[in-house]
Structure 1
């Protein structure tokens, strides 16, 4: 198997959910990782292998009224999270899936915990996916005014007489300029600006339509001032003012720096240099909040090129990467134990279900949150059952043991190296060879043939050892 050069491996691995031989081939066919990255950024929305998954769970095609009448938030959340995991495993457009998750974490509307936001949650996710490579100005507007966000952060019930501050505050603290950049008076004005954006919910309504609307009778008029944005706010129709306000926040220098830092923390290292953050913020402002130029500047930076080994996969990323690199093929689920369903239970066991973080701030993206003994042990268990082809065992196809091997006979060290190429996309380190020798009571130069103990009972042990190595835990 032909390996990508280290700098190309870094880019493809950092912006995917697992560097498979098929993805490496895609990178080589594009002329290298940087060309592959640009093509991914320019790719139209369609991704048949991933889009097909939506039809696997009936709940996902229901409209909000039917969801509210015939389902529950728990049932929907389970199906949507399964769909999300399946997309990440199967997607051909890996960069778009990675960036969709980035936006869904920054602008978090959890699939669980919200009383009724779930009825609009799939549309919210698909909206962010469609805008993943647009501008932050567009993304922010679409997210903040989406009915899922309006319901989750209580703007749906915010009125002129009783403005609810939740969305107005989180818009400043989490979505744009950051904590400490604003006053309490500005939070109140932020909330007043957003009054009027409503959703027909269960508040005093036994048969809600769940439709979004703008209600002039809910809008609080009167002059407002937030972080340099001022407006007389005389009209009962505050929609145009809201558009100006969100555009102002998206283009604010503090938003530029905060978004630049978050991108650098997610894709470079937990402690990016101030020089890198400043450069990315400058590109962001120079390109009127467009995201593609910022991502291109990030991957072209010396700091990114030197960041190998700096980022740890969170548990959900580890789960998806394990399915991808072992090339376990999941199919349409036919029962509760099917692999596409069981993946969700596995992610729960590992400590992080996709889009399940209950607070508005989204799941942590720094290494320290996911580097602890409990997480490691949970990952080891999943590596064992998936890597060994033990569980799930319904509607899934695992690779046959012979498929992992080089042409035989070969030395044990050559076998380990061949497996490392496929699972880690790198040569086996001396430490990894020693570890595999230890679990098999073998020596590096031991001759492996078709009647070797590796094929009789040992292949799951070696696969598990490779998956448990530090290189698999790193993005």
Structure 2
């Protein structure tokens, strides 16, 4: 006769008072998806973590047409070119912001390619364009569709080149009027400082040389497409962080920038920063050097390919040991909380780009994490301390109330009691454990289980912690299930990744 062993537990450095149960499927769901749910964890467990990961690293093979069709139908400006956006919005391209922001939230909530969405978000933070900037109204949708998504799991050299030559980036960082007579340094500086090698690895002379190399890279304001104007291009040899080019003819610009992107993407400083960003996003704020060294080797040996680096990361012992080492960022918290109830979309009566997912978007905006909207070129931070402070905690608690109470009329569900199968056949202890494990995957400590069990039972006006055998009453299920969900959503368990 076999007996099941209790799950292994670890103490989180972020909440040392909690003993967190270790579950490889839940860990991968929390880190590799936005909407980490019990269903997602079970799918990973059935498929096998390695096989699931390999499928996710080849997203083109996954049928996600249902999500794509919904986005195209509900948020058409999120997948349109500039002329179409102007037509859809009545020459008000800023309305495309709402479509792209909500399309991003919907994808994170429902996609069958969740790892792709996580990596897309990572590169949007790294190669950031602020959605709310008046320089790029109508252009950011194209940046997401043409530069970030096609290359998110490809080669970083291709991603970098697509980013720095995209019309949205050229407009955002003022390169559209950069000429031989008046080179503009904004784009050159951010490419070196933020996108590749980082502070300390380049000089002001490198910035000046790169700004000259980028002259003539501009935008067709009518079509929204990229244009290279050779007559604007500054000629003469350039040296940029060890890269040299004769740059001797007006037509040399595009080929030189393509070669520079290859050089910068392979530079040791850029390599180190890129691998650290991925490890910080998916493992911990301070990823072990042993892991970074292996990511470095993988990156080099695969010519800047991103998917092999992620496979090395997610199959590493360091990742397996990282339970509880990250706090969820607000978009992750909200997607997981909403997805737990398997919501059904209900089209709003109001026909504006702000109406669908309106409350959901309002909550994430209030938490300071509206998709793609960080106000400066650095993108949203990926450190625990940036998201865990008194104001942020209050926001999470308020968000938990909104989610538990079903405030978003465009996302309806059948009720929390039905979602988690709360019946009078369950004891209060069993119901409380079911809510905890169903929402975040961690087996709660006895005091945390008892707190929720006591709250559920209080609807019967019988005070005190229920016994281990006392079954739920119909009144407790009807009156307190939603608020018990709110308690669990507001707990540190829900936010620990």
Q: TM-score, normalised by structure 1?
A: 0.92
Q: Give 2:232's aligned residue.
A: 218
Q: Give 1:167's aligned residue.
A: 187
Query: Aligned partners of 2:409, 2:58: CA distance in 1, in Å?
Result: 37
2:382 aligned with 1:375:
no
Contact 2:233 2:250 in 1 (8 A): yes
2:440 aligned with 1:424:
yes
Worse overlay, 274-283 or 370-379: 274-283
Q: Give 2:81's aligned residue.
A: 63
Report the CA distance between 1:322 and its aligned residue.
1.2
Q: Give 2:139's aligned residue.
A: 120
Instruction: Give matches, 1:335-354, under 5 Å.
Output: 335=350, 340-354=357-371
Q: Give 1:245's aligned residue.
A: 260
Q: Tell me, what secondary structure is at the counterpart of 1:112? A: coil
2:205 aligned with 1:185:
yes
Query: Aligned partners of 1:118, 1:338: CA distance in 2, in Å?
Result: 19
Q: Tell me, what secondary structure is at the counterpart of 1:230? A: strand
2:468 aligned with 1:445:
yes
How many correspondences in the alignment?
A: 463
Worse overlay, 396-405 or 158-167: 396-405
Contact 1:411 1:446 in 2 (8 A): yes
RMSD of equivalent CA atoms: 2.1
Change (3 A) 1:444 1:461: farther
Contact 2:143 2:163 in 1 (8 A): yes
Q: Give 1:42's aligned residue.
A: 58
Q: Give 1:393's aligned residue.
A: 409
Per-residue Cα deviation, 1:370-403 (whole angstroms, up to 9, x for no partner): 00111111111111121232x0124533435233
Change (3 A) 1:324 1:400: closer
1:433 to 449, 469, 488: 449
Query: What 5-or-longer segments of structure 2 have no aligned partner?
Result: 1-6, 8-20, 459-464
2:490 aligned with 1:468:
yes
Change (3 A) 1:37 1:49: same
2:274 to 244, 255, 259: 259
Report the CA distance between 1:469 and its aligned residue.
1.6
Worse overlay, 219-228 or 38-47: 38-47
Query: Aligned partners of 1:5, 1:109: CA distance in 2, in Å?
Result: 37
1:197 to 195, 213, 217: 217
Q: Give 1:205's aligned residue.
A: none
Report the CA distance between 1:352 and its aligned residue.
1.6
Contact 1:250 1:289 in 2 (8 A): yes
Per-residue Cα deviation, 1:147-184 (whole angstroms, up to 9, x for no partner): 11111111111111111111111111111111121100
Query: Aligned partners of 1:333, 1:136: CA distance in 2, in Å?
Result: 40
Contact 2:422 2:477 in 1 (8 A): no
Per-residue Cα deviation, 1:252-272 (whole angstroms, up to 9, x for no partner): 111110101111111111111
2:173 aligned with 1:153:
yes
